[in-house]
């Protein structure tokens, strides 16, 4: 049985929450390996703030790369039907031939970094809907108006809580949900392999 996607517990755990949501979109709760929860939470939230406090600067791109490699190794050794592709920099966009578009077009899900209230933030992309993308933002926000090109949705808790125009996600202007600076972009694209 599918479960509603989760919101983060703190101001800093958007990374692991977005990753687990991306995998939850693809598998029933009975098929979600509990070891994933342990590994994802163990390796994410690895950044320190400028005072040296651990975890309070969220999850690094290095941690995302590690989690992607770990998932692929786990799948290869156990036969679990999941594959993760890590795309970075200019390759992370929603053009027709991009890895990210291919993933969403073929029933996969993805985690990308974007801007939210002037800070980097991780969200889950769950599918394409014309010129918009189904997004589950793990940061609970009660604002009804998220700006032009972003629609709040509350009746699809197992899929998305925002519909965001592709042009907003692909923009470099730094507004909410913009994937922003090309060199800083990263996406984990999750595919079921059965």
Q: Check which CATH number belongs to the domain holding 132 and give it.
A: 3.90.70
Q: What is the pLDDT of residue 144?
A: 72
Measured CA to CA, the distance from residue 8 to residue 136 in angstroms comes to 11
Q: Please choose, from the candidates 64, 53, 52, the residue with its C-alpha nearest in 3D space to the C-alpha of residue 185.
A: 64
Any domain includes 68: yes
Q: What is the pLDDT of residue 146?
A: 81
Any domain includes 64: yes
Q: What is the pLDDT of residue 31?
A: 95
Are 178 and 168 in contact by the 8 Å Cβ rule? The answer is: yes
Q: What is the pLDDT of residue 1?
A: 73
Structural domains of the chain, count: 1
Could you tell me the residue range of the domain that residue 145 belongs to?
14-192
Any domain includes 7: no
Q: What is the pLDDT of residue 109?
A: 98
Q: What is the pLDDT of residue 101?
A: 97
Torsion of CA 50, 136, 83, 45, to 10 degrees: 20
Q: What is the pLDDT of residue 58?
A: 85
Q: Is 45 left (phi over 0), alpha (psi -120 to 50) or beta?
A: left
Q: Which residues of 82-111 are buried (b: 16+ CB within 10 A; e: fewer)?
A: bbbbbbeeeebbbeeebbbbebbeeebbbb
Any domain includes 43: yes
Any domain includes 1: no
Any domain includes 49: yes
Q: Please choose, from the candidates 33, 38, 27, 35, the residue with its C-alpha nearest in 3D space to the C-alpha of residue 3.
A: 27
Q: What is the pLDDT of residue 142?
A: 80
Q: What is the pLDDT of residue 103?
A: 98
Q: What is the pLDDT of residue 182?
A: 93
Measured CA to CA, the distance from residue 181 to residue 5 in angstroms comes to 28
Any domain includes 160: yes
The whole-number mean pLDDT for each consecutive block of 10 residues of the chain, a chain of 194 residues, reads 91 96 96 96 86 78 97 98 97 96 98 94 96 97 84 95 97 94 96 96
């Amino acid at each position: 049985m599918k479960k509603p996607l989760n919101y983060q517990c703190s101001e800093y755990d958007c990374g692991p929450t977005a990753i687990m949501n991306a995998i939850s979109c693809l598998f029933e709760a009975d098929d979600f390996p509990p070891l994933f929860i342990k590994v994802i939470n163990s390796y994410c939230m690895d950044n320190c703030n400028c005072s040296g406090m651990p975890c309070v600067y969220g999850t690094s791109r290095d941690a995302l790369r590690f989690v992607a490699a770990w998932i692929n190794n786990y799948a290869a050794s156990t036969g679990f039907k999941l594959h993760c592709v890590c795309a970075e920099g200019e390759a992370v966009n929603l053009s027709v031939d991009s890895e990210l578009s291919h993933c969403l077009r073929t029933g996969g899900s993805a985690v990308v970094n974007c801007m939210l209230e002037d800070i980097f933030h991780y969200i889950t992309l769950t599918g394409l809907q014309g010129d918009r993308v189904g997004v589950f933002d793990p940061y609970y926000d009660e604002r009804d108006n998220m700006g032009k090109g972003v629609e709040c949705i509350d009746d699809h808790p197992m899929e998305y809580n925002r519909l965001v125009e592709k042009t907003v996600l692909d923009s470099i202007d730094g507004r909410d949900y913009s994937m922003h600076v090309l060199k800083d972009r990263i996406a984990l694209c999750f595919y079921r392999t059965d």
